């Protein structure tokens, strides 16, 4: 009985098994292993739970099943023949239960082998405990913040919705430079002169230093200062993590906003999130002050000046720079002893980190870890403070007892299970990786029909905030405006701008708002009329490439064919191991308890209560 169950569980979904198992293990960080959630004393949070299956001594319960299912993305749900299963059916529920069963079998086997007792795993446990304790401290601090929102607050927010300040901006490394930039702006100087003399950040595209500031989308500390400025006025320097901003309000516009009843839930979420963010920032500053964190700005500037002028990619290879290609921090040896930052440790002792200490760390960083010279001084400051901040938050979390918190320990256990599963799969799943030409030919004869390339199209899109802007973009494109200028003037989507407006290659089945539009066009270069896009926005598209359908030759896909053959063998080997582990540890399934489980759709449907606004 056990053998046939395991074989069925492992073969039904093929190569997606290990990905699903790892996903479930990762998502299980939010709950205890196998059974239901525990309270602070380790007791079941619910008086009764329904047991769906028992794997060895571990019970998989209904509450655990639903918690794991609720956290899955739609694309991560069990599939059969490439299609997601309906998680409201017995088949779908059983498929997800099988994933949970296999995860528990792998954890039991990994612990039996002793992976969890190895030195690297114990070191990982310590690092994970520090991380999870910090998260738990912030969750505890945030509990209850923003829950009380008055009707007046909601109404005030709604009244301001749709208001957008169009601003010219300059960003400076130091406050005194920002004040000088402000004085120049107040004198009536052209904004290009202000930015030419004082802007310390990256040059703006096309030299246009303008930014829209929509109400409710920036932090209150930034937004409030902008919205307190009249049209034509210039803000005082606004300190951010990346530098000091000075903005001149060029225009104030009122855009269309949704009906109040449609916006109320979003408003509540925004007010709550902003309250939490502000309170957390104040608490973080309080902790920094508690441990007397100080950054020596003069030393920081020396470090910034010594950063090598390197990017991420080697232009010769178009690959990230390797460590041996990276240049060291260029600071004078006479400055090595300068204190870069200092703080008090857990015992109150003074800890000083010098420029020399930082140079040693910097020189060992890879290209992705290093602060960049092209970034502003504030970015370097932020990275320095973030790094020491992790140590201070860890000290504070330990003092508040979160390292011993049962919930933290459960989350760490579950995160380690993810590592155990991956390690076990790599170590014990053995199969023949040799594929002969004859095997390749035989597989091709059976699966040739799978390798047909359908028609594909690609183009460019400019995404606009509203229909009026899309009409303007359409006219500009027809008049021959370059895509670079078009995106700079009209596009409101940051990611689309980064992609140069390129849609990527789209097939008819591709889920993209651009697909239907591009397939409605007839000729290369044809421009669409303004069309509704996603999130209430509008867009104009231009067709760039049409690639007709064709059949692949075997030689073109030989590598992919070999990969499929080897993956099938790997799946078979994994299935055999699951059969053995099922017999070894024992699996008992209570299929009769599946009927009452909630589906994925039910768990992810957010019901909005009638009374959204708790009164203060």
Please indicate, yes or no, whether residues 33 and 109 belong to a single structural domain of this protein. Answer: yes
Task: Count the Cβ atoms, other than its own, within 10 Å of residue 96.
Answer: 22
Last residue of a domain, one of 205, 229, 256: 256
- Does the residue 302 lie in any domain? no
Summarised one tens digit per residue, pLDDT across range 132-174 is 999 999 999 998 888 888 889 999 999 999 999 999 999 999 9
- Does the residue 280 lie in any domain? no
CATH number of the CATH domain containing 252:
3.10.50.40
Please indicate, yes or no, whether residues 546 and 592 belong to a single structural domain of this protein. Answer: no
Radius of gyration of the chain (CA): 29
- Does the residue 580 lie in any domain? no
Please indicate, yes or no, whether residues 424 and 463 belong to a single structural domain of this protein. Answer: no
- Does the residue 390 lie in any domain? no
DSSP state, residue 40? T
- Residue 372, token pair as written in the block: 């960049």
- Asked whether 396 and 137 are in contact (CB, 8 A), the reply is yes
Please indicate, yes or no, whether residues 38 and 122 belong to a single structural domain of this protein. Answer: yes
Q: Kindly report the backbone phi and psi dihedral angles of residue 348, in degrees, each rounded to the nearest multiple of 5, phi listed first.
A: 90, 0
Going by C-alpha positions, the residue among 587, 583, 600 that lies closest to residue 51 is 587
Please indicate, yes or no, whether residues 54 and 15 belong to a single structural domain of this protein. Answer: yes
pLDDT of 278 strictly over 80: yes
Domains in the chain: how many in total?
3
Please indicate, yes or no, whether residues 6 and 125 belong to a single structural domain of this protein. Answer: yes
Summarised one tens digit per residue, pLDDT across range 70-81 is 989 888 899 888
Last residue of a domain, one of 256, 272, 305: 256
Max alpha carbon distance in the chain (Å)? 86
Please indicate, yes or no, whether residues 135 and 168 belong to a single structural domain of this protein. Answer: no
Q: By mean pLDDT, which of 159-173, 206-220, 544-558 is the weakest?
A: 206-220
Cα separation of 152 and 360, whole Å?
Answer: 54
- Does the residue 503 lie in any domain? yes
pTM confidence score: 0.66
- Does the residue 79 lie in any domain? yes
Please indicate, yes or no, whether residues 18 and 135 belong to a single structural domain of this protein. Answer: yes
DSSP state, residue 610? S
Please indicate, yes or no, whether residues 458 and 531 belong to a single structural domain of this protein. Answer: yes
Last residue of a domain, one of 232, 256, 280: 256
- Does the residue 65 lie in any domain? yes
Cα separation of 459 and 476, whole Å?
Answer: 17
538 HSE (CA, 13 A, CB side): 15
Domain that holds residue 11: 2-139+405-428+585-602
Q: Kindly report the backbone phi and psi dihedral angles of residue 33, in degrees, each rounded to the nearest multiple of 5, phi listed first.
A: -70, 125
Summarised one tens digit per residue, pLDDT across range 9-62 is 444 444 444 444 444 444 443 333 444 344 434 444 444 679 999 999 999 999
Please indicate, yes or no, whether residues 175 and 242 belong to a single structural domain of this protein. Answer: yes
- The DSSP bridge partners found for residue 274 are none
Please indicate, yes or no, whether residues 546 and 589 belong to a single structural domain of this protein. Answer: no
pLDDT of res. 34: 45
Please indicate, yes or no, whether residues 129 and 246 belong to a single structural domain of this protein. Answer: no
pLDDT of 111 strictly over 90: yes
Q: Kindly report the backbone phi and psi dihedral angles of residue 536, in degrees, each rounded to the nearest multiple of 5, phi listed first.
A: 75, 5
Cα separation of 374 and 517, whole Å?
Answer: 39
Summarised one tens digit per residue, pLDDT across range 354-384 is 999 999 999 999 999 998 888 889 889 988 9
- Does the residue 206 lie in any domain? yes
Q: Which of 144-153, 309-318, 572-581 has maximum average pLDDT?
A: 572-581
pLDDT of 385 strictly over 80: yes
User: Which string of b and e fits 376-398 if b means at least 16 CB within 10 Å?
Assistant: bbbbbbbebbeebbebbbbbbbb
Task: Please provide the average confidence, as pLDDT, over all residues in the chain.
Answer: 88
Contacts of 187 (CB under 8 A, 6+ apart): none
């Amino acid at each position: 009985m056990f053998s046939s169950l395991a074989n069925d569980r492992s073969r039904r979904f093929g190569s997606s098994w290990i990905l699903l198992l790892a996903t479930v293990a990762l998502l299980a960080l939010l709950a205890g292993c196998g059974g239901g959630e525990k309270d602070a004393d380790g007791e079941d949070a619910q008086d009764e739970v329904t047991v769906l299956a028992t794997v060895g001594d571990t019970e998989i319960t209904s509450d655990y099943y639903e918690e794991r299912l609720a956290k899955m993305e739609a694309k991560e749900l069990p599939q059969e023949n490439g299609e997601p299963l309906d998680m409201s059916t017995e088949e779908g529920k059983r498929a997800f239960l099988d994933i949970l069963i296999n995860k528990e079998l792998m954890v039991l086997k990994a612990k039996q082998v002793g992976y969890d007792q190895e030195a690297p795993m114990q070191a990982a446990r310590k690092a994970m405990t520090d991380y999870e304790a910090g998260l738990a401290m912030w969750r505890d601090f945030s509990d209850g913040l923003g829950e009380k929102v008055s009707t007046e607050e909601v109404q005030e927010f709604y009244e301001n919705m749709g208001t957008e300040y169009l601003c010219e901006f300059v960003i400076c490394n130091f406050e005194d430079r920002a004040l000088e930039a402000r004085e120049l702006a107040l004198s009536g100087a052209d904004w290009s002169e202000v930015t030419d003399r004082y802007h310390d950040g990256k040059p703006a595209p096309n030299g246009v230093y303008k930014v829209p500031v929509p109400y409710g989308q920036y932090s209150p500390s930034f937004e409030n200062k902008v919205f307190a400025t009249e049209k034509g006025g210039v803000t005082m320097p606004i300190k951010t993590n990346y530098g000091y901003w000075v903005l001149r309000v060029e225009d104030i516009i009122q855009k269309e906003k949704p009906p109040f009843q449609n916006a109320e839930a979003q408003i509540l979420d925004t007010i709550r999130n902003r309250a939490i963010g502000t309170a957390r920032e104040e608490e973080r500053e309080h902790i920094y002050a508690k441990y007397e964190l100080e950054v020596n700005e003069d030393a920081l500037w020396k470090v910034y000046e010594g950063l090598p002028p390197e990017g991420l990619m080697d232009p010769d290879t178009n690959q990230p720079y390797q460590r041996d290609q990276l240049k060291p921090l260029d600071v004078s040896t006479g400055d090595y002893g300068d204190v870069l930052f200092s703080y008090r440790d857990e015992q109150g002792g003074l800890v000083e980190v010098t420029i020399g200490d930082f140079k040693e760390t910097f020189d060992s960083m890879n290209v992705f870890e290093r602060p960049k010279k092209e970034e502003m001084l504030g970015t370097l400051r932020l990275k320095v403070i973030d790094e020491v901040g992790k140590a201070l938050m860890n000290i504070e979390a330990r003092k508040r007892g979160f390292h011993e918190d049962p919930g933290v320990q459960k989350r760490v256990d579950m995160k380690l299970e993810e590592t155990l599963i991956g390690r076990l799969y790599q170590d014990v799943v053995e199969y023949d990786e040799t594929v002969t030409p004859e095997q390749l030919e035989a597989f091709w004869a059976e699966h040739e029909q799978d390798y047909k390339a359908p028609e594909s199209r690609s183009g460019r899109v400019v995404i606009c905030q509203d229909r009026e802007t899309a009409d303007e973009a359409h006219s500009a494109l027809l008049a021959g405006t370059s895509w670079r200028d078009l995106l700079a003037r009209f596009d409101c989507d940051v990611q689309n701008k980064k992609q140069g407006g390129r849609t990527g290659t789209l097939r008819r089945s591709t889920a993209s708002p651009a697909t239907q539009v591009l397939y409605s066009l007839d000729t290369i270069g044809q421009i669409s009329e303004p069309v509704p896009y996603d999130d209430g926005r509008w867009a104009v598209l231009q067709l760039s490439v049409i690639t007709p359908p064709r059949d692949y030759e075997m030689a073109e896909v030989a590598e992919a064919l070999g990969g499929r053959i080897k993956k099938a063998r790997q799946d078979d080997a994994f299935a055999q191991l699951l059969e053995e582990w099922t017999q070894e540890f024992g699996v008992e399934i209570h299929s009769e308890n599946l009927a009452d489980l909630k589906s994925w759709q039910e768990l992810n449907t957010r019901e909005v209560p009638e009374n959204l606004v708790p009164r203060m």
